Amino acid sequence: MTIDERLEQVWDVVVSRNPGEPEFHQAVQEVLGSIAPVLEKHPELAAHKSIERICEPERQIIFRVPWMDDRGEIQINRGFRVEFNSALGPYKGGLRFHPSVNLGIVKFLGFEQTFKNALTQMPIGGGKGGSDFDPKGRSDGEIMRFCQSFMTELYRHLGEYTDVPAGDIGVGGREIGYLFGQYKRITNRYESGVITGKGITWGGALVRPEATGYGATFFAEEMLRVRGTSLDGKTCVVSGSGNVAIYAIEKVHQLGGKVVACSDSVGYIVDEGGIDLDTLKEIKLDARGRVSEYVERRQAAKFVVGGSIWDVPCQVAMPSATQNELTGADAKSLINNGVIAVVEGANMPATPEAVSAFLDAGVAFAPGKAANAGGVATSALEMQQNASRDSWTFEHTEQRLAQIMEGIHDACFETAEEYGAPGNYVVGANIAGFLRVSQAMLALGLI
Ligand code: GLU
């Protein structure tokens, strides 16, 4: 992705002001590579330095998280919350607990989130947070004590009109419960709208656990529809085996496709007959186990360590594990094996080389900020239900999710066409997201 010379100065400032943050640079570069035609058409946005302001987070919070492990030893982690942009609503975005988390990772995620949330058309700004805490192998008690310590600092920055976290990698329903419990205890307020992804009996919304995976699959179906086809009968590969991957597999199967492979950080499984979702859910959701356990239960399946899941031939690929998991070489294998659509379930899973390869080969490519927006959109629906003290049925909520994904798809598709890049969802998503955020910022004065 080349950056227009008018934006080169913006890029230079971002790189020099944020040293050692390659993922943040990468996310900014992708957006800068798309928006030059907008600034030409809307000189007022350039005059008001909209993109310069969007690249600078409104607030960045870094804090110590001390906690005691089961052996009585004191542990110290680092906590983050980057409140990126609140032009469209309270900061909204998940918390990630993973040893790879650092300020650059949180900034890339917060930057992406700002555009993603704008694309949903919901009233939510962008933010992201997390910690370098590694939940793997930790007991329930350790997870709880860590979450309580994390919230003991974070609570002062939150509020249903200020900043509303949710889950991400390493943060699911259990962690959201401990975090909300501590927030409630400190503030003496049952403020349901302060966090999303809550359990269904204490303020959560139906479809929220499924929403990211379902939403990405709805997006895939829309992209295929434009090309005169559908998921029905298609062979798919979904990387990862967390919440996003599991519910993407579920929806692909419901729509008649067949997912033959998924993965975790150790390796990947291939089951040519189609992944058996009940088995996978038992292993991953009920027992918090590893995908390798799948082959102990399904004789026909194999477990591969050391290769790339993208060597498994498929027509639709849904990278749903983590950033930069799909490289230029992986893109070549997928293209050689006849992939027709690639849909990012995770945030920025395809490297810039991979994205260029897909676009050059005419593969339908959906960037995460558009395709995985169903999760945060359903979080906004959860906030809506909390605000009205209401709860909707599964069917109604899923229908809303499907409509939102269709809306995002169409906005990306039409914007790409309008700006002379037909079929390029990267350009469409970046421009549509940028326009919504920057026009709101313009309306609110110099913020
Ligand atoms: N972590 C999710 C994302 O990347 C969801 C955030 C939310 O629901 O606030 O969009």
CATH classification of the domain holding 298: 3.40.50.720
For residues 142 and 185, state if they share a domain: yes
For residues 236 and 332, state if they share a domain: yes
Give nearest CA residue, ligand 1 atom 9.
93
For residues 111 and 17, state if they share a domain: no
Whether this model's pTM surpasses 0.95 = yes
Q: What is the pLDDT of residues 107-153, one digit of tens each?
A: 999 999 999 999 999 999 999 999 999 999 999 999 999 999 999 99
For residues 289 and 348, state if they share a domain: yes
CA of 376 to the centre of ligand 1 (A): 5
Q: How confident is the model at residue 1 (pLDDT cuts 50, 70, 90)?
A: low
For residues 68 and 49, state if they share a domain: no
CA of 34 to the centre of ligand 1 (A): 23
Q: What is the CATH number of the domain that holds 168?
A: 3.40.50.10860
Residue 2, pLDDT > 80, answer: no
Mean pLDDT of 297-315: 97
CA 352-358-362 angle, to 5 degrees, is 145
Q: What are phi and psi of 54, to 5 degrees?
A: -65, -30
Structure confidence at residue 6 (pLDDT): 80
- Which residues, 6 or more positions from 360, have their beta carbon under 8 angstroms from its beta carbon? none
For residues 50 and 63, state if they share a domain: no
Residue whose C-alpha is closest to residue 208's, from 404, 380, 407, 371: 380
Q: Do 35 and 419 form a contact (C-beta atoms < 8 A)?
A: no
Q: Which domain range does residue 44 map to?
A: 5-54
Whole-number Å distance between alpha carbons of 325 and 346: 10
Mean pLDDT of 11-23: 98
- Which residues, 6 or more positions from 421, have their beta carbon under 8 angstroms from its beta carbon? 427, 428
Looking from the CA of residue 379, the nearest atom of ligand 1 is: 8
Looking from the CA of residue 378, the nearest atom of ligand 1 is: 8
Element of type H or E holding 283: none
For residues 250 and 355, state if they share a domain: yes
Residue whose C-alpha is closest to residue 242's, from 344, 172, 144, 294: 172
- Which residues, 6 or more positions from 278, have their beta carbon under 8 angstroms from its beta carbon? none
* 32 within some domain: yes
Q: Point out which residues pair with 166 in neighbouring strands.
A: 94
* 348 within some domain: yes
Mean pLDDT of 298-311: 96
Which residues are designated catalytic?
128
Q: Token pair for residue 117?
A: 């949330």
Length of the chain: 447
For residues 48 and 73, state if they share a domain: no
Mean pLDDT of 211-227: 98
Mean pLDDT of 360-373: 98
For residues 50 and 77, state if they share a domain: no
Q: Token pair for residue 263?
A: 């993965």
Looking from the CA of residue 167, the nearest atom of ligand 1 is: 1
Q: Do 442 and 44 form a contact (C-beta atoms < 8 A)?
A: yes
Structure confidence at residue 5 (pLDDT): 82
Mean pLDDT of 151-175: 98
CA of 352 to the centre of ligand 1 (A): 22
* 420 within some domain: no
Q: Among 98, 108, 113, which is best to mutate for testing ligand 1, by the most ligand atoms less than 8 A from CB?
A: 113
How many domains is the chain built from? Answer: 3
Q: What is the pLDDT of residues 176-191, one digit of tens each?
A: 999 999 999 999 999 9
| % of the chain beyond a pLDDT of 90 | 99
* 315 within some domain: yes
Which one of 160, 191, 222 terminates a domain? 191
For residues 331 and 226, state if they share a domain: yes
Which one of 22, 38, 54 terminates a domain? 54
Residue 214, pLDDT > 80, answer: yes
For residues 166 and 125, state if they share a domain: yes
Cβ < 6 Å from ligand 1: which residues? Answer: 92-94, 166, 168, 196, 347, 375-376, 379
Give nearest CA residue, ligand 1 atom 8.
376
Residue 266, pLDDT > 80, answer: yes
* 446 within some domain: no
* 122 within some domain: yes
Structure confidence at residue 429 (pLDDT): 98
Q: Do 61 and 136 form a contact (C-beta atoms < 8 A)?
A: no
Q: Among 106, 128, 212, which is best to mutate for testing ligand 1, by the most ligand atoms less than 8 A from CB?
A: 212
Query: Bigger pLDDT: 175 or 5?
Result: 175
Q: Token pair for residue 283?
A: 């292993």
Mean pLDDT of 334-341: 98
Q: How confident is the model at residue 240 (pLDDT cuts 50, 70, 90)?
A: very high
Which one of 130, 161, 191 terminates a domain? 191
* 318 within some domain: yes
CA of 31 to the centre of ligand 1 (A): 19
For residues 312 and 221, state if they share a domain: yes
| % of the chain beyond a pLDDT of 70 | 100
Average pLDDT in the chain: 97
* 242 within some domain: yes
CA of 297 to the centre of ligand 1 (A): 32
